[in-house]
Amino acid sequence: MMTNERRRLVVEGGERIIDFNNKAFKPVPEEGIAMASDAMRRGVMYRYQPPTKEDSLTARFEKTFADYMGMKHVIGTNSCGSAMYIALNIAGVEPGDKILTNAFTFHAVPSVIHHARAEPVLVETNREWGMDAEDLDRKAAESGAKVLLMSYMRGHVPDMDAVMEVVKKHDLFFIEDCAHAYCTSWDGRALGTFGHIGCFSTQSSKGMSAGEGGIFVTNDDEYAAKAALYAGSYEKLWQKHHGLDPEIMDRLQNEIPGYSMRMHEVTAAMLLPQIPRLAVIHEIHVRNHALLRSIIGDHANIEVPSPHPKAGNFHDTMQFHLVGMTTPQAEAFLDVAKEEGLPMQIFGIRRNARDYRSWTYVDAHRDDLPMTVENIAFAVDLSMQPHLTEDNVRVMGRVVLEVLDHVLA
């Protein structure tokens, strides 16, 4: 039996080589810190305190991100979960409704469906961790579900041509969970622009980081009006948003409940200067991901699935399958790598929050998803934040290979 008793596999001078934190999250740019501090000093943190939309950092962020995405409307929220919950309400979801969603995603997604008192219908996952379009077609027909909440988990992109065919075939209301899909595209078109509504996250580990926060995007005037009201606009405060239709707002004003899910000025201040930074970060991620893949991808016990040729990925993490290994060996791999300074996780072991079998609040067919079980069983998840240098990445690759060889020795 393999053990993980041996430590310091890659030491120099008695110290571990990895003296950096590969998971250190992105700092807020100094400009954002200054704007946030100013808002706090002035006591102007509530998004509707500024006298006009031109004076509001949140409204400014919404307009800037809408322009960046090429979308008509953006509504800032206090989390991506809130944006998705609002989207489900706009879709007309009622308690007991069935919602098509990924079997492989973070538990926040089924939690949002649970929040709406609806029922997730879990769809299989392919080898590259995207939603399987054939199973989506089958589940849509079998369940009668009329809403698809699809997650691009870890930025992995399914065959969007096939997915959109299913959406049209079954007339699905399509909500995109783009929490991990900044700067991610299909055939040159940005994710978040395919569905009726797109939802982004600004939680600390995401492409834009404010600790918490969410972004609701749409081209539909009525969806945007409802989102502003669900998020917590009231009376005539909608006038402090850009682009909302006055006639629609007046009609819906007292028909939509307000859930107090607004973004606030400090969050918007932190995020505004991060929008132009996305392109720089994306370039770093793509370069580092390609380098790490070139180092570890040829190992006999590692499989790094290739994205679809039409997919353009953000690559702020790397996932790879361990092949030809037992669960104890895989667990030893994690333990020794952590000791060497490189924390990783495997989606299919240790009650991971991304393993649908751990969502005990979901009444799903837990034994009927063999593809997902197989494709998360030995799927390693490795964070690659943009502060990493090429030298850092080379060291990470060396640690992965040496720890793996040690565990298998």
Per-residue pLDDT reduced to its tens digit, 132-178: 999 999 999 999 999 999 999 999 999 999 999 999 999 999 999 99
The tokens describing 409, both together, are 């020795």
pLDDT of residue 19: 84
Per-residue pLDDT reduced to its tens digit, 331-377: 999 999 999 999 999 999 988 999 999 999 987 656 689 999 999 99
pLDDT of residue 16: 66
In this structure, what are the phi and psi dihedrals at residue 216, rounded to the nearest 5 degrees?
Answer: -105, 125
The C-alpha atoms of residue 324 and residue 367 are separated, in whole angstroms, by 23
Each as own residue / partner, the long-range contacts of residues 329-335 (CB below 8 Å, 24 or more positions apart, any chain) are: 329/2, 329/407, 329/408, 330/378, 332/2, 332/3, 332/4, 332/407, 333/380, 333/403, 333/404, 333/407, 335/4
Cα angle 122-125-129, degrees, rounded to a multiple of 5: 130
pLDDT along the chain (409 residues), means of 10: 46 65 93 98 98 98 98 98 98 98 97 97 97 98 98 98 98 98 98 98 96 98 98 96 97 95 98 98 98 98 97 98 97 95 95 93 77 97 96 96 95
The full set of domains in the chain, from first to last, is: 11-15+277-408 (3.90.1150.10), 30-273 (3.40.640.10)
pLDDT of residue 171: 98
Strand pairing class (173-177; 147-151): parallel
pLDDT of residue 15: 62
- Through-space distance between the first and last CA atoms of the chain, rounded to whole angstroms: 10
pLDDT of residue 10: 53
The tokens describing 94, both together, are 């009622």
pLDDT of residue 11: 45
